[in-house]
Chains A and B, each alone.
Chain A
Amino acid sequence: MATRQQTNKLSGDGNATLIGEEIQVVGRIEGREELKVQGYVEGSIHLTETLVVDKGGVVVAEVRALDVVVYGIVIGDVVADRRIVLHAGARVVGDLKAPRVTIAGGAAFRGQVSMGTTTDDGQHEDTSGHRSGTGRWRGGSSSSRGGGGGARGIGARSRVSRGVSAKPAGALSRSSRGHEVEEPGPRQPPLRKRIGREVGREREVGREREVGREREVGREREVGREREVGREAAPEQVPLERFDSDEVDGDLIDVDDGMITDGGKKKRAASPRVPARGKHRVDHA
């Protein structure tokens, strides 16, 4: 397919775009205006405005929009930048991710709710590209897990909000962000340059494990914990900052060389699991 281009025309329609009851769309929908679905949409929906799934609407897609209001059926992860509302009669299977989530009485929902903003993930991936390339924290949120969950949002949670825009229908494929390396396999401790003392290390290794698990699986209690440590940029990094405040220089993990350096503190942190000092090279680029 040719590269997607967004037309720059203003919508003259006061009417939102409407996909009628008898219409089926299989593929990708992108837009900068409101979309109302009364029919069947399969694939992915990526809007910068509101998506309304009406009573008879069935959306089997990954959804990303500003607001998402559901009266009908949605199967797939839903990511909203502002708000998700499930009205009575809505049936949703999939993860919800938005700063505000409303689930009305009478709605049927199965999935996980994550109330951080989507920018966290996006930002994390962008700014910490080299880091996340190690797959240390993200070891869990890897394609190995993604491969296990063919059904969007049902089962594997690892791809909750990553690369939503470019997902082809029906495949939890690798995010379009190349640096977000999905390394399958066991979680490795992060290559943290600035590690506190042993105590700090223990705490942080433990924290990292929890956060890593949350990344992988996104259980609610860990979501809660994640929220507790604060969702500014890169949730995984925050515990590090907090617990090793005197060591961190404000910048998050700095694995520019992939080696465990800087005083060997990190070496100690890694030692429980990983041989120190360059035994394992991290391909973080």
Chain B
Amino acid sequence: MASTVIGSTIVIEGEISGEDSLLIHGTVRGRIDLRERVEVATDGVVEASIVAPVVTVYGTVAGDITADERAELRAECQVVGDVRAPRILIADGAAFKGRVDMGG
């Protein structure tokens, strides 16, 4: 369902912004600021702060995650950074280090 796909051999350094959903198989460094869901696939590496309504992580994220609706850290993911979301899911097997802030 992601309309933008960043393939696994792609490295993006910079800022990604927009209104589309994003599926990351490659590497992104910088900032991600989207109005649609962001999904970091298993082979995705994101060294960036992510701001999106829904953030789903299967891969590696080193950076803060700010989700307006929901953040999901699935199994086998590795996340280092703060997570700010009203709803959060950390699956069994996820590796996570950081703070969790559920708003309020």
Contact = CB atoms under 8 A, between A and B. Distances in A.
A23 B16 contact: yes
B10 A33 contact: yes
Interface in A116-141: none
B10 to A, nearest CB: 4
Contact of B27 (A5, A10, A12): A5
A17 B5 contact: yes
A251 interface: no
A5 B9 contact: no
B7 A13 contact: yes
Interface of B, secondary structure class, is strand
Interface of A: 1-2, 4-7, 9-13, 15-35, 39, 43, 169
Contacts of B25: 9, 11-13
Interface residues of B, number: 29
Interface of B: 3-22, 25-27, 29-30, 34, 43, 45, 47
B12 A28 contact: yes
B9 A6 contact: yes
Contacts of A39: 4, 18, 20
B37 to A, nearest CB: 13
Query: Which 8 residue pairs of A and B lie closest in terms of their CB atoms, listed nearest first?
Result: A27-B14, A31-B10, A23-B18, A17-B7, A22-B19, A32-B9, A20-B4, A20-B20
A232 to B, nearest CB: 32
A32 B34 CA distance: 25
Contacts of B14: 25-29, 43, 169
Contacts of A5: 11, 27
A43 B14 CA distance: 9
A31 B13 contact: no
B27 A7 contact: yes
Contact of A10 (B8, B15, B18, B47): B8
Contacts of A17: 5-7, 10, 26
A35 B25 CA distance: 13
Contact of B20 (A11, A13, A23, A28): A23
Most chain A C-beta atoms within 10 Å of own C-beta, residue among B16, B45, B47: B16
A13 B18 contact: no
Contact of A11 (B3, B7, B27, B47): B7
Given A13-B25, A17-B6, A39-B4, A31 B16 contact: no
A57 to B, nearest CB: 12
Given A5-B11, A33-B10, A19 B17 contact: no
